Amino acid sequence: METKEIREIAVRAGRIMLCSGAEIYRVEDTIARICNSYGAECECFVLPTGIFVTVYGDNIESMSMVKRIRERTVDLHRIELVNAFSRGLMNKPLQYEDALEALDDIEKPHDWHLAIRLLASGMIAFALTILFNGGWKEGLAATVISMLIYMINSKISDLGIFRFFEYFVSGIIVGAASLVAIWIFPALNVYKIIMGSIMILVPGVAITNGIKDALHGDITASLLRLAEAVYITVAVGAGVGFMLSAGLRWL
């Protein structure tokens, strides 16, 4: 197989993994493993926003590639598929076309149905509101708001406006909707409702993953992820705070 093709497969697999929210070391391992299984060496440097790879070897031409990564979500099933794919290559290297076809298969959308994801986001909000000492009434309000913002969020994502705008708008909606909730039922605690409903927005997992990257030695990637988490928090918090400080004074 030609270097170009090896590079193509390796970078593509790495890109799918990185876009699905895999850890940096896992992406680097995968790229190296794919190159090795085709008998080439590789040196790669992965950041959350891009992949830099050079494929080289004794009898082959050395080639480099830079791949920019723009969107990142969390999709654990895809990570598992690519992981299985790269391990499969170690045992039995596929032909170029077959490998690309397998990667195409992995990239096909396989999300859960939107209704199920909506229910799930509601369930998260309900469960965590009560887990963090809220009442079941606050839980119900948070459930509704959480489902609302999940829906709006996926619509905005389809439009493809920049990501922090999504978070800011979601924050504004959370603030507005919880004000409506306490306007109708004044007995509810507005902060408890907000906490439950922003649970699917706040970057708890991102902060943790950022520190995990640092422990693996990927310091640059870790700082980038932590910074991203801070900006997301600020975007959500600014949206919510804007609505609350306007609304609570007015109520």
Partner 1 sequence: MTDILLAFASSFAGGIIFNIKKENLLWSGVSGALGWLAYSLLHRFTGDNTLSTFVGAAVVSIFSEGMARLLKSPATIYSIPGIFPLVPGIAAYTTFQYIMENKLSSAASKGIETLFSAAAIAFGIMLVYGVFRFASRLNEGNPGKS
Residues that bind partner 1 (CB under 8 A): 22-23, 26, 29, 33, 74-80, 83-84, 110-112, 116-117, 119-121, 123-124, 126-128, 130-132, 195, 198-200, 202-205, 207-212, 214-216, 229, 233-234, 236-238, 240-241, 245
Select 8 or 200, whichever has its Cβ closest to partner 1.
200
Select 178 or 209, whichever has its Cβ closest to partner 1.
209
DSSP H or E segment with residue 65:
strand 63-68
Q: Scanning the structure block, which residue is given the tokens 């997301």?
A: 232
Q: Report the chain's terminal Cα–Cα distance, integer Å.
A: 70
DSSP H or E segment with residue 108:
none
* Spatial distance between the Cα atoms of 121 and 127, rounded to a whole number of angstroms: 10
What's the token pair of residue 50?
């891009």
C-beta of 156: minimal distance to partner 1 in Å? 16
Q: Enumerate residues 6+ apart whose C-beta is below 8 A from 231.
A: 164
C-beta of 97: minimal distance to partner 1 in Å? 27
Select 161 or 211, whichever has its Cβ closest to partner 1.
211
C-beta of 2: minimal distance to partner 1 in Å? 26
C-beta of 86: minimal distance to partner 1 in Å? 11
* Spatial distance between the Cα atoms of 174 and 193, rounded to a whole number of angstroms: 9
Select 63 or 189, whichever has its Cβ closest to partner 1.
189
8-state DSSP, 188: S
C-beta of 42: minimal distance to partner 1 in Å? 14
Select 8 or 148, whichever has its Cβ closest to partner 1.
148
Secondary structure of residue 2 in the 3-state scheme: coil
Instruction: Dihedral sign for Cα 128, 133, 139, 145, please.
Output: negative
Secondary structure of residue 140 in the 3-state scheme: helix
Q: Enumerate residues 6+ apart whose C-beta is below 8 A from 124.
A: 146, 199, 200
C-beta of 194: minimal distance to partner 1 in Å? 8
Q: Enumerate residues 6+ apart whose C-beta is below 8 A from 74.
A: 20, 21, 205
C-beta of 219: minimal distance to partner 1 in Å? 14
